Amino acid sequence: MKKCITLFTLVVLTLLITACDSEPKLAKVNGKIITTGQFQAYLQFKRLPAQDKKRYKALTAQYLEREALATEISESPLLDKKLIKAELNEFRKEMLISRYFEKFLRDKVSDQAVRNYYNTHAKDYEERKVHVAHILLRVNRSMGAAERKAKLTTAQDAYSKIKSGKKFEDIAKKYSEDAISGKKGGDLGWLKEGAIDPRFTKKVFSMSVGDVSEPFETAFGFHIVKLLEGPMVVKRPFEAVKGDIRYQLRNQAKDAELKRLTSKVTIKRFDE
């Protein structure tokens, strides 16, 4: 078995040496041959343009100087060789894995696949929305019982005025402590189900158009809510979600390929 491994190693080294010999030589740095192919690969890796001769000459000099410097200090006792070897190996693994999946996933998810997923999972992209207005009396954790009670009393007073015939919009402008919606008569616009406080969501999605709720509390304070429109189901357009779908499908393809690759690997540990 050892003879087979040795023979294999010699074959690989021979092929590498032959490959290096077949490439035009760029320079010899401390006895080490640097080929033009290695330098071109470096330029490609760094995405460095070198169209004109002056630029090419400068980059070549810089590359060879760094190569010479690295060679010179590689045996320095100041360096922890084991640590450097470990760092280089981690970089090698990270580079191999990322480059592999970059290539693997490049054309794995087509535009048609994204469109098909959208069409077959239509309900996943449907949202229930309501158009509501509210009056808010804010509370916070630092408030005492008396102050909270005063807020609730104010909310109940505002609710009574609405029930007696006052316009919701006018009461909102007068009482609401939500400055932005208050200026618009309490109008919050269209709200998506689940995007707000659970108690608020449960209340507004159980109401009928035109209904005004009694004061109820959420983490933000005491609310009085009026349902203006809805609930209605709105489907998110394909253009708005296609990026998310592509990302999801690419991750699924990556997970499947990871499972396929790891299923072919054998790991035998000696510390267990």
- In this model, does residue 11 exceed pLDDT 50? no
Question: What is the domain range of residue 133?
Answer: 126-235
Prediction pTM value: 0.55
- In this model, does residue 272 exceed pLDDT 90? no
CA–CA distance, 78 with 116 (Å, rounded to integer): 59
Question: Does residue 13 lie within any of the structural domains?
Answer: no
> Average pLDDT of the chain?
89
Question: Does residue 264 lie within any of the structural domains?
Answer: yes
Helices (H), 2-52: 2-22, 36-46
The C-alpha R_g of the chain, in whole angstroms, comes to: 34
150 and 222 assigned to the same domain: yes
271 and 191 assigned to the same domain: no
Report pLDDT for 5. 42
147 and 105 assigned to the same domain: no
Domain count of the chain? 3
Q: Which residues contact 224 (CB under 8 A, 6 or more apart)?
A: 134, 135, 155, 158, 159, 162, 212, 213, 214, 215
Report pLDDT for 230. 87
User: Which three-class secondary structure state does DSSP give residue 210?
Assistant: coil
CA–CA distance, 149 with 146 (Å, rounded to integer): 5
197 and 258 assigned to the same domain: no
Share of the chain above pLDDT 70, in %: 92
37 and 103 assigned to the same domain: no
Between the CA of residue 80 and those of 84, 86, 88, 92, 175, what are the distances in Å? Answer: 6, 10, 12, 18, 70
Question: Does residue 211 lie within any of the structural domains?
Answer: yes
Question: Does residue 12 lie within any of the structural domains?
Answer: no
What type of residue is 37?
Answer: G
User: Which three-class secondary structure state does DSSP give residue 7?
Assistant: helix
Share of the chain above pLDDT 90, in %: 72
Report pLDDT for 21. 57
112-113-118-119 Cα dihedral, nearest 10 degrees? 70
66 and 159 assigned to the same domain: no
Question: Does residue 8 lie within any of the structural domains?
Answer: no
CA–CA distance, 74 with 69 (Å, rounded to integer): 8
139 and 169 assigned to the same domain: yes
Task: Look up the CATH number of the domain holding residue 197.
Answer: 3.10.50.40
Q: What is the mean pLDDT of residues 49-69?
A: 88
Question: Does residue 117 lie within any of the structural domains?
Answer: no
Report pLDDT for 13. 43
143 and 226 assigned to the same domain: yes
Report pLDDT for 8. 42
